[in-house]
Homo-oligomer: A and B are copies of this chain.
């Protein structure tokens, strides 16, 4: 059995990249040559995947972009395509699930069995028994929201509990109580490097999924400097729109590769 963490470690080593590409297709932003195809979303993703698979550590399709337009079939086709053609690249289903125990079981089935994702993002607000139905899949990754990169993330996540912000409490629970199968990772936004440093100190070598570099203002070099694990990796630095919409023309896939290469050049490498 290869676990998500093992697959991720191998992907960091092989790709020499900490970049995770978010597959967040919006129908109205697709290039003209694809727009009228019934499988436009999949075709767009396929081109991005083919162009970047060897220089990314993960792909991360975001669920809402498919669900809003009833494109579950194209989400499934995208994940299947990555598994078939580039089996070394882990797939994170970014769905931010979270529900009470028995219902969480069904969400875990959806992510891991229906879609075959290697990992899924999960919201921790409902606590340990809402997370266990995911972590019990020992070969899969469970990526808990810790400190998100949006301004409103502060509303709850920065509330102080016994002298520490809620997001650090989540990091400690994740590292110390919920991680019996050693398959939890955390989402920590790049907007404040000190936040990443604080979380890294608490969680040891746990992988961190880091959104918010680039468009949202996060500093890539600072993120890598404070966020690396003891092996020099440990980060999935996500870029979605800056990569997949790098060009609105028919050269979009080539342009996407260029952005990923630039991120690696700028420091997003183990």
Contacts and interface: CB of A to CB of B under 8 A. Distances in A.
A45 B161 CA distance: 44
A114 B150 contact: no
B153 A126 contact: yes
A150 B126 contact: yes
Interface stretch (A30-38, A60-68, A79-87, A200-208): A60-68
Interface residues of A, number: 52
Interface stretch (A9-17, A127-135, A229-237, A258-266): A127-135
B125 A156 contact: yes
Given A124-B125, A127-B155, A150-B129, A99 B161 contact: no
Contacts of A149: 100
A46 interface: no
A162 B161 CA distance: 8
Contacts of A68: 106-107, 109-110, 113-114
Interface stretch (A49-57, A165-173, A245-253): A165-173
Given A64-B106, A72-B70, A98 B123 contact: yes
A256 interface: no
A106 B28 CA distance: 13
A85 to B, nearest CB: 23
Contacts of A173: 155
Given A65-B106, A107-B64, A169-B156, A100 B150 contact: yes
A148 interface: yes
A170 to B, nearest CB: 7
Contacts of A109: 68
15 contacts: A24-B103, A64-B106, A65-B103, A67-B106, A70-B72, A96-B123, A126-B152, A127-B148, A127-B152, A127-B157, A131-B152, A156-B166, A156-B169, A160-B162, A161-B166
Given A67-B110, A68-B106, A101-B152, 5 more contacts: A69-B114, A123-B125, A126-B153, A127-B150, A160-B161
